[in-house]
Structure 1
Amino acid sequence: MAMRHHDLTDPAAAETAGPVTGEALAGYLRAQATEFLRALRLHRETGGWGNGAEGSADAARALRRSARRITGSLHTYRPLLDADWSEEIRPELAWLSGTLAMEHAYEARLERLLTALQRLSGATPVPDRAESLPGAPATAHTTLTTGARATGTTRAPRTTATAPATPATTATAASATTTAPAPPAHPAASPDRGNLTVGAAKAGALLERQLTLARTRAHSTALQALGSSRFHAVADKVALLASEVPLTAGAATTDLRPLAAAAEERLTDAVAALPLVTAGHPYNAEALIHGLSPDPAPHPQDAPWHQVRLLLRLHRYAREVLHAGPEPVEVRLLQAGQALDRHRDASEAAAAAAQAARTPRIAPATAYALGVLHADQRHEVEAARYAFQRCWQKDRKERAGTG
């Protein structure tokens, strides 16, 4: 029989559980600081991020992971920590985590967009992005070009959706392509599919140029950051944190659960402010109004969802402190976090496609392919919102039923 874990942020469970004091917070921060230093040592042993070794990538992920957890814990439990020290180190760790995350974000965004282009246009599968890195013999651009030559205008192959089979993704597939249930042996492609096939190769090449350049710059920025005096100052502060946590005088006897409950309440309030009724429908036409408008500002509907994703992460880290380490997996939080991650990835990919479509003097077929790609990613945004809404509302109904 599986062991039942009490939710230490729940008032009913708090009556039977013992107090969780600042000593638990100190132990958690020391453990995360130790993980940070271990990742830093791995980074130095593998020769740094410049050599592209797998160990270096693992070290980067470990550094980001521990930096995020330390930053989140300092934010949630800041009343129990020395104020001057906390306000000094917290933004520095956030800077480091954000700087190290950019290169991976650009690489994943390019992979997502090229895969979507291949799926929408019917080109041959995009190879592993490792083959498209500098020095590799082939690129995704050549693959898309080959696929465009191979498909021509004589065949419209079926597409395979990569998102979960929700009504939103069904609407996405239906709106992005038109595939007959039983096509003849050599049918003539529809004008829309023909235009998309023609423009997909050039659209992929344009995206690869833009995002590879951004990735290269992010890589250089990360290397400069890791060699800077600013980073060494952060590393020194974390090394001190591994041995001594600057708690306030009364932190050793203060219960952490009210502060963790406050983090959960902020998350609940932010979710309540989301348009979950709209997200409960498989298609939200209002989300596509801005389309490829000249305004490069972020999509106005996305910001509240990104904020919920941040608050959900803070809530998870607060629970880790209460459980003195990795908490028991809660399916609701896991699924909600995955849906919000997909939402973030799709919204940023859609913005990248829209930015590429604003490039001056591109061919109409290229602009058309980028427009279809933008719409596809905005549909993926809606699918992620729908998945989050289903997960969150289901849990609320279950809690109401058991209550």
Structure 2
Amino acid sequence: MTPTSSPSRCASAWLITALALPGLSALTALQPIDAKAENAPEMTTIGVKYGSYQDSQPGLDRVRVRSPQLYFLAPVAGEWSVEAAWVGDSVSGASPRMHTQRSGASRMNDHRTAEEVKVTRYMARAAVSASASYSTEHDYVSKAMGLQSRWSSDDNNRTWVLGYGHSTDWIDNQYNGVNTAINQHKISNEFMAGITQVLTPRDVAQFNLTRTMGSGYFNDPYKAFDSRPRSRNAWIALTRWNHYLVDLDIAARSSYRYYSDTFGVKSHTLGLELAQNIGQWTVTPGVRYYQQSAASFYFDPKLDSQGRYDELATIQYAAGLAGYKSADQRLSSFGATTLSLKVAYAVGPNTVVDVKVDRYRQDAGLRLSGGGSPGLAPFSARFVQFGLTHRF
């Protein structure tokens, strides 16, 4: 689950995972699962990517996003490194329908830019990093910072990590004519501890535990009858295991993530990737399954005698509810699957081009443990990304 914000910010979360997260997550989201000596990079790396995202609901092609991305990493004085990243999201399309068979959808166009800078100091078997990021769109501004330290055992088979992240968001949609969130703010803090352990020459395991604490404005200003608590705290536990299959020359990367927050949302995520080198090619298929329970204040749509969505009855019911309430589909009970395929080609020793395709589907019926929220419109998304990475 991600905090509620404008439609464009929700869509672009697919495209900029590291930068969209608070400062601490931005430092660790792309960090490889590997226990090794902490050494400064010896070469400069530049990366260029272009992402295309499209999602849909039955009878409605919804949000489209086009996203160029840049990445830069350079060693400095043998003991330091500097990283920088930039992304620009151009978003257009229709806002989501809350429930099946709801008529109409408002149109939107937006552009978001985000930048991040990270500096790392390397020492004997240890490293300390600091990052700062800034993201802006017409009704949303986010500033984040992160601090992280990691150190390894004498044999470099074990690595510990501690981190802290802080983000401050500003929400103001008075320029859209909606006027439901004027000069609102949200503050989030993250604390993370983790360990990575080499188990065998073929196995590496990792465990991270994260505590997030947020306060401020969590409503979605673009949804009617949306009133949420002004605090949201969560626990996140992540376990990863990498295993090398010698006979097949395949690296299997598996993961499990558990999430629980004070909104009442609990989720489970299982993932598996298989990476195989074939000459200059690397082929990585992947699958991920996700399911969550509904927030305690989420309300289901009202259905008519034929089981179809009754918009008038739902509005009348929502108007009579006191206290916190939301019909946001992201707070409902559902399951989701993602199928992915990444193909990379090494043009030379230091140059790689790649393409990755993801297909996502979300539906109440995909919740394996049952209890999916009724009346939800199925949701599908397709994400394609092209990349070029060069070291020199």
Identify the structure with the greater helix proportion: 1
TM-score (norm 1): 0.25
Greater fraction strand: 2
Bigger CA radius of gyration: 1
RCO (CA 8 Å, sep 6+): is it higher in 1 or 2?
Answer: 1
TM (normalized to structure 2)?
0.25
